[in-house]
A and B are shown apart, each in its own frame.
Chain A
């Protein structure tokens, strides 16, 4: 797992070059990192982005994973 700083850098880089398929795994990783730290609000923020970008680029696996987490914590349906 990357450090938070490295994740931030990679996310910004992916946004900058509009590499949409790189975004879902990066946001998922950021979400998992925050979840491990016990910060569920921040984790769900990142799960939401992982979910939305996964829907957008057709990454069904990550969409399902992120949605399941959000549902489990009462943040989405």
Chain B
């Protein structure tokens, strides 16, 4: 934190016309990265995984997120809960890899067993051989440590410090903006609709690049044919999310006219509209009338980010084998676009080693979504 001072943060929080971007330390300083875990992730709602990875009762998916061992479990009641993936006894990791549990979460060390709702079920030999009770070991106080969680459009959000407003309050504006999509069932087709990119950049550069359309004609010239810069608009929700929308979404994945079915009941806006939003801190979303995708940014380290992309469709029929060729084309289209962005975010990451770079000068017209994100980061640090 020594690399940051109030003046630097104040520069970022100025109106876009005179603001600078975030200083280099936010991209290169290990202490800042550590602080971000608390200031930008732990104290708000961050995404740690996808519910599609735990579709059935007993499914358990361990995830290391920001260094924390977490475990998503699909419970007997059909709800997914997230726990810290450690036994209350000796802190042993409970589940090492994605699995389907039969009827308990058993610690592999001394076999303390937990129910899927996290409650402690039995404590073998805790009072001596064959004696599984002891007055000092109060099972009702020793359930797994639950992490507050909420599922939105299949993304599992967690609020690690447990103090953020309810997710519905936190994401109220987005829930309203996408109210036509928020309650729609989503269908995932499996491997052909899932991919991962490992990028040598700080996670924030992926957010910044995703939420602005300024770069599209230069980095994604292929989009110029149907989605020109002037067909895009900014999406700006200070302190919460920012992004861009297009008014000319018109996918042509197949020459014979085959296409994915649309979500039912959408208004005319979505006939040719699509929106791409960075929900702070680490989620990139895209909605279209015929599919949705979510990207989880996993900040592995200061200069390394894993982008996990999951694409969803509107009905089980769209996930059938007959539609596999279209799904593969769609996934390839998005993957190619996201790959086109890699040299940019990696270039900016290397650029952040330039000691006299001042965080940069924004275009007051084109960089508004990026500025909003920087402002969000700076405000949270200023208030931390």
Contacts and interface: CB of A to CB of B under 8 A. Distances in A.
Contacts of A42: 129-130
A56 B112 CA distance: 11
A44 B111 contact: no
Interface in A16-55: 40-49, 51-52, 55
A69 to B, nearest CB: 10
B121 interface: yes
Given A55-B106, A55-B122, A57-B102, A75 B113 contact: no
A54 B131 CA distance: 18
A63 B102 CA distance: 12
B113 A77 contact: no
A41 B104 contact: no
A47 B102 contact: no
Contacts of A77: 133, 139
Interface residues of B, number: 16
Interface residues of A, number: 23
B124 interface: yes
Contact of A76 (B111, B129, B133): B133
A17 to B, nearest CB: 17
Contact of A55 (B104, B130, B132): B104
Contacts of B121: 55
A41 B112 CA distance: 19
Given A47-B130, A48-B122, A56-B102, 19 more contacts: A41-B130, A42-B129, A42-B130, A44-B129, A44-B130, A45-B129, A46-B130, A48-B124, A48-B130, A49-B124, A51-B124, A52-B111, A52-B122, A52-B124, A55-B102, A56-B106, A58-B103, A63-B103, A75-B133
What 6 pairs between A and B have smallest CB-CB spacing?
A58-B102, A44-B130, A45-B130, A55-B104, A76-B132, A45-B129
22 contacts: A40-B130, A41-B130, A43-B130, A45-B129, A45-B130, A48-B122, A48-B124, A48-B125, A48-B130, A49-B124, A52-B122, A55-B102, A55-B121, A56-B106, A58-B102, A58-B103, A63-B103, A74-B133, A75-B130, A75-B131, A76-B133, A77-B139
Interface of B: 102-104, 106, 111, 113, 121-122, 124-125, 129-133, 139
